[in-house]
């Protein structure tokens, strides 16, 4: 492994890769016990992740009693810690071992029907549960082409690429060239997975409500659906308690996501993300600053 960048970047790269490899040595139940300890510390010591989690939950569930908001925030930090420590198994365990963690699949006919019709498939997969496990499971059903943006950490980038391609998938760069590749894949009946709740930096977005709050929202996913006719399938890999495994949920999609009107389609996409969140609210990554770029609304819930 050849490392580039300054000493601090190299140290961070080695530290993260070493942590991931260490986590791959333990079973899920042990990892979740460690995650519980991590979460307890994070909810006792002031930190940005816990602060943002609390702010997001307060904003998105304003009618929830304050004690339930606090309980949800603490459980969310634990679930996020579980996602972190699970990256070792997800990226380094054999694919068949990972898929063996799937105990039940809900509404699998939604995926099977799209495949049988020869349509392209867009997996709408928000940051909830374990989306890496979802990706590995989907690779048993179809060939996935996913866009990937390097993190600037050579060892980690290599580890992630190898992990995502080991089950026969493909990657495309997260740029215009990659979008063109994915569009062609979908037109030919292939599949891709898109995380629809990321905040675009400079282009490819409009403002749309997410849990009633205006948020900068990507237009890529509904644009691909409209141009290719691919089936959009909201998907969640929900974590079971005590390291018992996962259940995968495929959800119906609001047909408005195929609308030629961009606002209508993006609004439908955000409703699909909300439906995914409601499958397991604590397993959503509430520490992500979803509302940090609110445009002309002037809101900043993180101040």
DSSP element (H, E) containing 85:
helix 66-92
In this prediction, residue 172 carries a pLDDT of: 83
Token pair belonging to 86:
């699970």
C-alpha dihedral sign at 58, 64, 68, 73: negative
- Distance from C-alpha of 11 to C-alpha of 118, rounded to nearest angstrom: 47
Residue 285 vs residues 79, 83, 223, 288: alpha-carbon distances, Å = 8, 9, 25, 6
- Distance from C-alpha of 118 to C-alpha of 64, rounded to nearest angstrom: 44
Beta bridge mates, 206: 217
For β-strands 145-148 and 205-210, DSSP reports them as: unpaired
Q: Assess contact for 251 and 262: CB atoms under 8 A.
A: no
Q: Assess contact for 220 and 179: CB atoms under 8 A.
A: yes
In this prediction, residue 7 carries a pLDDT of: 67
Residue 65: CB atoms within 10 A of its CB come to: 9
Q: Assess contact for 123 and 193: CB atoms under 8 A.
A: yes
In this prediction, residue 2 carries a pLDDT of: 41
Residue with tokens 């959503």: 284
- Burial class from Cβ neighbours inside 10 Å (0-12, 13-18, 19+) for residue 171 reads middle
- Distance from C-alpha of 253 to C-alpha of 47, rounded to nearest angstrom: 36
pLDDT in tens, the chain (303 residues): 344 456 677 888 889 999 999 999 999 999 999 999 999 999 999 999 999 999 999 999 999 999 999 999 999 999 999 999 999 999 999 999 999 999 999 999 999 999 999 999 999 999 999 999 999 999 999 988 988 777 677 888 888 878 777 777 788 888 889 999 999 999 999 999 999 999 888 789 999 999 999 999 999 999 999 999 999 999 999 999 999 999 999 999 999 999 999 999 999 999 999 999 999 999 999 999 999 876 555 567 888
- Distance from C-alpha of 153 to C-alpha of 150, rounded to nearest angstrom: 8
Q: For the chain, give me the number of helices (H) and strands (E)? A: 11, 9
- Distance from C-alpha of 70 to C-alpha of 52, rounded to nearest angstrom: 12
- Distance from C-alpha of 139 to C-alpha of 118, rounded to nearest angstrom: 16
- Report the Cα–Cα distance between both ends of the chain, in Å, rounded: 41
Per-domain boundaries in the chain = 7-297
- Distance from C-alpha of 232 to C-alpha of 124, rounded to nearest angstrom: 6
The model's pTM: 0.92
Tens of pLDDT, residues 132-162 = 999 999 999 998 898 877 767 788 888 887 8
**CA angle 199–62–294, rounded 5-degree value:** 25
- Distance from C-alpha of 48 to C-alpha of 39, rounded to nearest angstrom: 13
3-state DSSP assignment of residue 121? strand
């Amino acid at each position: 492994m050849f490392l580039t960048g300054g000493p601090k970047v190299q140290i961070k790269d080695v530290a993260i890769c070493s942590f991931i490899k260490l986590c791959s040595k333990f079973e899920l139940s042990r990892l979740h016990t460690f995650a519980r300890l991590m979460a307890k510390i994070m909810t006792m010591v002031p930190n940005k992740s816990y602060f943002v989690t609390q702010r997001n939950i307060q904003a998105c569930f304003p009618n929830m009693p304050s004690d339930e908001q606090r309980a949800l925030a603490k459980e969310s930090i634990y679930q996020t810690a579980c996602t972190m420590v699970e990256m070792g198994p997800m990226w380094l365990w054999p694919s068949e071992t990972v898929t063996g963690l799937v105990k039940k699949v809900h509404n699998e006919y939604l995926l099977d029907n799209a495949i049988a019709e020869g349509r392209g498939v867009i997996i709408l997969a928000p940051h909830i549960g374990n989306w890496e496990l979802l990706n590995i499971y989907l690779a048993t059903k179809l060939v996935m082409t996913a866009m990937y943006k390097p993190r600037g950490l050579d060892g980690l980038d290599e580890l992630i690429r190898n992990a995502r391609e080991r089950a026969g998938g493909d990657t495309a760069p997260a740029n215009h060239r990659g979008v063109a590749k994915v569009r062609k894949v979908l037109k030919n009946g292939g599949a891709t997975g898109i995380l629809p709740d990321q905040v675009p930096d400079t282009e490819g977005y409009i403002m749309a409500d997410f849990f009633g709050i205006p948020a900068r929202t990507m237009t890529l996913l509904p644009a691909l659906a409209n141009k290719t006719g691919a089936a959009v399938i909201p998907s969640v890999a929900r974590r079971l308690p005590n390291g018992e495994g996962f259940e995968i949920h495929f959800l119906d999609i609001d047909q408005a996501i195929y609308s030629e009107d961009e606002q209508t389609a993006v609004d439908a996409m955000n409703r699909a993300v909300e439906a995914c969140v409601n499958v397991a609210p604590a397993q959503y990554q509430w520490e992500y600053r979803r509302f940090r770029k609110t445009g002309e609304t002037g809101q900043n819930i993180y101040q």
